[in-house]
Amino acid sequence: MDSYDASESTPRQSTSSRPEDYFIGATFLQKRLESVRKQTSFVPTPPRRKIPHCSLLQEDVDLQKVAFLLHKQWTLYSLTPLYKFSYSNLKEYSRLLNAFIVAEKQKGLAVEVGEDFNIKVIFSTLLGIKGTQRDPEAFLVQGLTLLPKLECSGTILVYCNLLGSSDPSTLAFQVAGTTGACHYSWILSKSQLPSENRESKVLWTGWFCCIFGDSLLETVSEDFTCLPLFLANGTESNTAIIGTWFQKTFDCYFSPLAINAFNLSWMAAMWTACKMDHYVATTEFLWSVPCSPQSLDISYAIHPEDAKALWDSVHKTPGEVTQEEVDLFMDCLYSHFHRHFKIHLSATRLVRVSTSVASAHTDGKIKILCHKYLIGVLAYLTELAIFQIE
Amino acid sequence: MSVLRPLDKLPSLNTATILLVGIEDALLQQLADSMLKEDCASELKVHLAKSLPLPSSVNRPRIDLIVFVINLHSKYSLQNTEESLRHVDASFFLGKVCFLATGAGRESHCSIHRHTVVKLAHTYQSPLLYCDLEVEAFRATMAQRLVRMLQVCAGHVPGVSALNLLSLLRSSEGPSLEDM
């Protein structure tokens, strides 16, 4: 978010009507308005946080269903609350979005090099991806390819009754060059190949979720659905088209969520603190040194068990992570590096953190590797998204 | 001498000296150049330092205002500032020290939370200014502001002293600090 402050912070011209008109009681937003009126800035970062725990995920979610969420690189966006969104109209939304995509592609605005394929969009809910019962259900939008229609000068030959093979999906390609030994009948039809037997390839996936979004849920009225975190995997142009449709239909706003170095170091500490049975990846940090003419990248890889041992020696309070512990953990890594290489890593910018639980890049890209801590990772990201919306 | 004291030297006639402390040489140099471009009734002297203590071999005039420049993008600059603060005498903090936080404009590059810097300024009872020193226009404005503050701290503005200015600046910050 743009946190540029001039030398004395100018009072933000927020709503001039009284806060009592909007809600009853002192809620988060009212406290915020008070602090704005006092011409100060509200600092929402708590100095301590809970370590993500895995309890909620195992109760509700089937592992197979969320397996497709893991090991994929997601780009993060924060999303303002959706107006008049309802879970029962998902089919309707699919239909509308399909029509919109077709219209956009025909307009020629999204120029894609490659074959001209159609995307079919499906909406579905993801059960169990939520922090508390109050959180709205997560839902998923998938863009699948439709197979290209076989059209050749008006007539299409599709089916042959070849001896033996009854699988219609293999018939079409065996037509040319068949000998007269088999019966076949020409069918004039323009139908597509039957696609039930084939799996359409998933081209684009996006999902919306909200984990522990209590601070946001309190402030919005009934018509709004709060799903502040949006994760997308797929081409940028598809994301842009689908984003535009959502913005037009539900009066919301997407903005890319960048993760700054401060939050990355928190993530590193929290993910190192997670107890894992076996480590699939080394703990790795990437720093970018801003020097001219081109920037230098420093990559620091640690054996995950060593990182966990370091964290255990730093960590005092069970179940919670404090700012001092995070700073101490990072300072230990910096001083170790300085002792060997005489480079002050604290003067550089942390760009990427990857552990066995998940990996995050400062541009807002994330990859989750461990299903046990999925909710925990999403909870922190939701918090960042909510912070950005406000 | 390892500790900077405000009153251990006699002031020179019509001269005001400012000391900028920070690890980013380029930024400090640019800020110094902007300050020297300002037209000011008194003669300005700008000293730059990476950290304190200053080497005692150099003969320097009495320092009227110290500005600690903290770059929010690097934790190292914060650590450097904290180290340097130990070498400043307590009587300097009566309005002759100021903190300048730069780099808040690019939120994604920040590795220090603003909270930390605000708390630091509050602990040392000194004003905290924000400025993106990389942007020309903001730098010029900040240079103007620092020159005015320097004139007050050097006693060149009749009727206003450094301590006066400090209490003026402090009252506008408000009670948000109790939230911490």
> Concatenated DSSP letters for A155-213?
--------SS---HHHHGGG-TT--TTS--------PPPP-SSSPPPEEEEEEEEBSS-
Chain B contact probe: residue of A28, A48, A257, A262 with most B CBs at under 10 A: A262
Q: How confident is the model at residue B174 (pLDDT cuts 50, 70, 90)?
A: low
* Average pLDDT score over residue span B88-92: 89
Q: How confident is the model at residue A197 (pLDDT cuts 50, 70, 90)?
A: very low
CA distance B153 to B161: 6
Decide: residue A84, CB within 10 A, 0-12 exposed, 13-18 middle, 19+ buried: exposed
3-state secondary structure of A93: helix
Q: How confident is the model at residue B167 (pLDDT cuts 50, 70, 90)?
A: confident
Using an 8 Å CB-CB cutoff, list chain B residues near A41. Answer: 114, 176
CA distance A101 to A242: 8
Which residue in the block uniquely carries the two structure tokens 């890594």? A333
Burial A100-118 (b: 16+ CB within 10 A, else e): bbeebbeeeeeeeeeeeee
Tell me the two tokens of residue A336.
């170790």
* Average pLDDT score over residue span A95-109: 79
CA atoms within 13 A on the CB side of A375: 25
Using an 8 Å CB-CB cutoff, list chain A residues near B115. Answer: 43, 45
CA distance B62 to A111: 67
pLDDT at residue B44, rounded to an integer: 92
List chain A domain ranges.
49-106+115-147+198-257, 259-362
B176–chain A nearest CA distance, Å: 7
Beta bridge partners of A283: A302
The strand pair at A138-146 and A118-126 is best described as antiparallel
B177 → chain A, closest CA residue: A40
Q: Which of A2, A3, A344 sits opposite B76 (nearest CB)?
A: A344
For the cut 90, the answer to whether the pLDDT of residue B98 exceeds it is yes
- Interface touch A7/B77, C-beta < 8 Å: no
CA distance A139 to A160: 42
The strand pair at B97-102 and B128-130 is best described as parallel
List of domains in chain B: 15-166 (3.40.50.300)
Number of other residues whose CB lies within 10 A of the CB of residue A10: 9
Question: Cβ distance A66 to A374 under 8 Å?
Answer: yes
Residue B54 has phi, psi (to 5 degrees) of -80, 150
A36 → chain B, closest CA residue: B176
- For residue range A331-373, what is the model confidence (pLDDT) as tens digits? 999 999 999 999 888 888 888 999 888 899 988 888 888 877 8
CA distance A90 to B133: 50
Interface contact B173, partner A, CB < 8 A? yes
- Interface touch B130/A259, C-beta < 8 Å: no
Using an 8 Å CB-CB cutoff, list chain A residues near B131. Answer: 7
What is the rounded average pLDDT for all residues in chain A? 71
Using an 8 Å CB-CB cutoff, list chain B residues near A35. Answer: 176
Q: How confident is the model at residue A135 (pLDDT cuts 50, 70, 90)?
A: confident
3-state secondary structure of A233: strand
- Interface touch B132/A4, C-beta < 8 Å: yes
Interface contact B75, partner A, CB < 8 A? yes
Q: Which of B74, B112, B174 sits opposite A38 (nearest CB)?
A: B174
- For residue range A143-162, what is the model confidence (pLDDT) as tens digits? 777 655 443 333 444 444 44
- Interface touch B108/A8, C-beta < 8 Å: no
Lowest mean per-residue pLDDT among A10-19, A284-293, B54-63? A10-19
Burial B39-60 (b: 16+ CB within 10 A, else e): ebebebbbbeeeebebeeeeee
**Greater pLDDT, B68 or A279:** B68
Q: How confident is the model at residue A174 (pLDDT cuts 50, 70, 90)?
A: very low
Using an 8 Å CB-CB cutoff, list chain A residues near B73. Answer: 261, 349
